[in-house]
Chains A and B, each alone.
Chain A
Amino acid sequence: MSHDMSDDKLPADTAEGHGEVAAADNPFADPGLPAHEVRRTDIDERAAKRAERHVSLLFIVSMLATVGFIASYVSIDPDKIVYIFPLGHISAMNFALGMTLGVALFCIGAGAVHWARTLMSDVEHPAERHPIEADDEVRADVIEQFKTGAGESGFGRRKMIRNTLIGSMALVPLSGVMLLRDLGPLPEKSLDSTAWSEATPAMPIQLINMNTNEPMKAEDIGIGSLTFAMPGPSALRPNGLQESDEDFQQQIAKDALMLIRIQPEDIKDAQSAALGFEGVLAYSKICTHVGCPISLYEQQTHHALCPCHQSTFDLSDGARVIFGPAGHPLPQLKISTDSLGYLVATGDFSHPVGPSFWERSE
Chain B
Amino acid sequence: MSSASTSGKQAAPASTRAKPANKAEAAADYLDGRLGIYSLAKANLRKIFPDHWSFMLGEICLYTFIIIILTGVYLTLFFKPSMGEVIYNGSYAPLNGIRVSEAYASTLDISFEVRGGLLIRQIHHWAAIVFVAAMFVHMMRVFFTGAFRKPREINWVFGFLLLFLGFFDGFLGYSLPDDLLSGTGIRFMEGAILAVPLVGTYISFFLFGGQFPGTDIVPRFFTIHVLLIPGIMLGLLVAHLILVFYHKHTQWAGPGKTEKNVVGMPLMPVYMAKAGGFFFLVFGIIAAMSAIASVNPVWAYGPYRPDQVSTDAQPDWYMGFAEGLIRVMPGWEIRAWGHTLNLGVFIPLMLFPLVLAAIAAYPFIEGWITGDKREHHILDRPRNAPVRTGLGAAWISLYLVLLTGGGNDLLATHFHLSLNDITYFVRAGSFIVPVVVFFITKRWCLGLQRRDKEKVLHGRETGVIKRLPHGEFVEVHAQLPQDKLHTLTAHEQYEPLELPAEVDENGVARKVGLITKTRAKISEGMFGEGNQIPKPTAEEHKEITSGHGHH
* Contact of B516 with A105 in the complex, beta carbons under 8 Å: no
| Given A113-B278, A125-B48, A228-B307, also A5-B542 (CB < 8 A) | no
| Least CB distance, A361 to chain B, in whole angstroms | 4
A102 to B329, CA, bound (A): 44
* Contact of A250 with B497 in the complex, beta carbons under 8 Å: no
A321 to B329, CA, bound (A): 14
- CB proximity to B under 8 Å, residues A202-249: 210, 228, 230, 243-244, 249
Residues of B within 8 A of A291 (CB): 187-188, 190-191, 212
Residues of B within 8 A of A266 (CB): none
* Contact of B99 with A94 in the complex, beta carbons under 8 Å: no
Complex partner residue of A290 from B190, B283, B423, B482, CB under 8 angstroms: B190
Residues of B within 8 A of A84 (CB): 292
B242 at the interface (CB under 8 A from A): no
Complex partner residue of B370 from A10, A110, A122, CB under 8 angstroms: A10
* Contact of B339 with A105 in the complex, beta carbons under 8 Å: no
A31 to B482, CA, bound (A): 7
A332 at the interface (CB under 8 A from B): no
| Least CB distance, A179 to chain B, in whole angstroms | 11
Determine the residue in chain A with the shortest Cβ distance to B306: A253
- CB proximity to A under 8 Å, residues B358-385: 368, 370-372, 374-375, 377
Residues of B within 8 A of A9 (CB): 371, 494-498, 523
B328 at the interface (CB under 8 A from A): yes
Question: Interface 1/0s, chain A 293-329, versus B by CB < 8 A?
Answer: 1011000000000011111000000000101111110
Residues of B within 8 A of A112 (CB): 273-274, 276-277, 280
| Least CB distance, A188 to chain B, in whole angstroms | 9
* Contact of B345 with A325 in the complex, beta carbons under 8 Å: yes
| Least CB distance, A56 to chain B, in whole angstroms | 14
A33 at the interface (CB under 8 A from B): yes
| Given A27-B538, A27-B541, A31-B486, also A289-B309 (CB < 8 A) | no
Determine the residue in chain B with the shortest Cβ distance to A10: B372
B472 at the interface (CB under 8 A from A): no
Determine the residue in chain A with the shortest Cβ distance to B332: A327
A132 at the interface (CB under 8 A from B): yes
| Least CB distance, A323 to chain B, in whole angstroms | 6
B265 at the interface (CB under 8 A from A): yes
* Contact of B497 with A187 in the complex, beta carbons under 8 Å: no
* Contact of A127 with B371 in the complex, beta carbons under 8 Å: no
A292 to B276, CA, bound (A): 46
B483 at the interface (CB under 8 A from A): yes
Question: Interface 1/0s, chain A 74-108, versus B by CB < 8 A?
Answer: 00001100001001001101111111011111111
Question: Interface 1/0s, chain B 413-425, versus A by CB < 8 A?
Answer: 0000001100100
A164 to B271, CA, bound (A): 54
* Contact of B371 with A2 in the complex, beta carbons under 8 Å: yes
A362 to B282, CA, bound (A): 55
* Contact of A290 with B345 in the complex, beta carbons under 8 Å: yes
Complex partner residue of B288 from A99, A286, A355, CB under 8 angstroms: A99
* Contact of B288 with A106 in the complex, beta carbons under 8 Å: yes
Residues of A within 8 A of B310 (CB): 307
| Least CB distance, B88 to chain A, in whole angstroms | 13
Question: Interface 1/0s, chain A 279-293, versus B by CB < 8 A?
Answer: 000000110011111
A295 to B519, CA, bound (A): 53
Residues of A within 8 A of B308 (CB): 293, 295
* Contact of A358 with B201 in the complex, beta carbons under 8 Å: yes
A6 to B499, CA, bound (A): 10
A104 to B374, CA, bound (A): 47
* Contact of B340 with A358 in the complex, beta carbons under 8 Å: yes
* Contact of A244 with B248 in the complex, beta carbons under 8 Å: no
B210 at the interface (CB under 8 A from A): yes
Stretch at the interface among A13-21, A40-48, A135-143: A13-21
Residues of chain A at interface, number, CB under 8 A: 118
- CB proximity to A under 8 Å, residues B245-303: 246-248, 255-266, 269-270, 273-274, 276-294
* Contact of B284 with A107 in the complex, beta carbons under 8 Å: yes
Complex partner residue of A250 from B188, B213, B374, B482, CB under 8 angstroms: B213
| Least CB distance, A252 to chain B, in whole angstroms | 5
| Least CB distance, B164 to chain A, in whole angstroms | 22
A120 at the interface (CB under 8 A from B): yes
Residues of B within 8 A of A253 (CB): 187, 211-213, 306-307
| Least CB distance, B244 to chain A, in whole angstroms | 13
* Contact of B305 with A252 in the complex, beta carbons under 8 Å: yes
| Given A295-B311, A325-B344, also A180-B493 (CB < 8 A) | no
A286 to B276, CA, bound (A): 52
| Least CB distance, A55 to chain B, in whole angstroms | 10
| Given A110-B281, A124-B265, also A357-B201 (CB < 8 A) | yes
* Contact of B263 with A126 in the complex, beta carbons under 8 Å: yes
A64 to B406, CA, bound (A): 45
Residues of A within 8 A of B531 (CB): none
Question: Interface 1/0s, chain B 182-207, versus A by CB < 8 A?
Answer: 00100110111011111111101111
B525 at the interface (CB under 8 A from A): no
A343 at the interface (CB under 8 A from B): no
Determine the residue in chain A with the shortest Cβ distance to B496: A9
4 new A-B contacts at CB < 8 Å, known A30-B486, A127-B263: A28-B541, A105-B281, A127-B262, A254-B211
Which residues in A have some Cβ–Cβ distance to B below 8 Å? 1-7, 9-11, 14, 16-18, 22, 25-34, 73, 78-79, 84, 87, 90-91, 93-99, 101-113, 115-117, 120-129, 131-133, 180-181, 183-187, 190-191, 210, 228, 230, 243-244, 249-250, 252-254, 256, 285-286, 289-293, 295-296, 307-311, 321, 323-328, 354-362
Which residues in B have some Cβ–Cβ distance to A below 8 Å? 46-48, 85, 91, 99, 112-113, 115-116, 118-119, 122-123, 151, 184, 187-188, 190-192, 194-202, 204-214, 216, 246-248, 255-266, 269-270, 273-274, 276-294, 304-311, 313, 323, 326-333, 335, 338-342, 344-345, 368, 370-372, 374-375, 377, 408-409, 419-420, 423, 456, 482-483, 485-486, 489-490, 492-500, 513, 515-516, 519-520, 523, 538, 541-542, 545
A-B contact pairs, 20 of them (CB 8 A): A5-B497, A9-B494, A22-B482, A26-B538, A87-B292, A87-B293, A108-B284, A109-B280, A110-B277, A125-B48, A125-B266, A126-B263, A128-B260, A180-B206, A185-B210, A187-B205, A244-B85, A290-B345, A325-B344, A355-B195
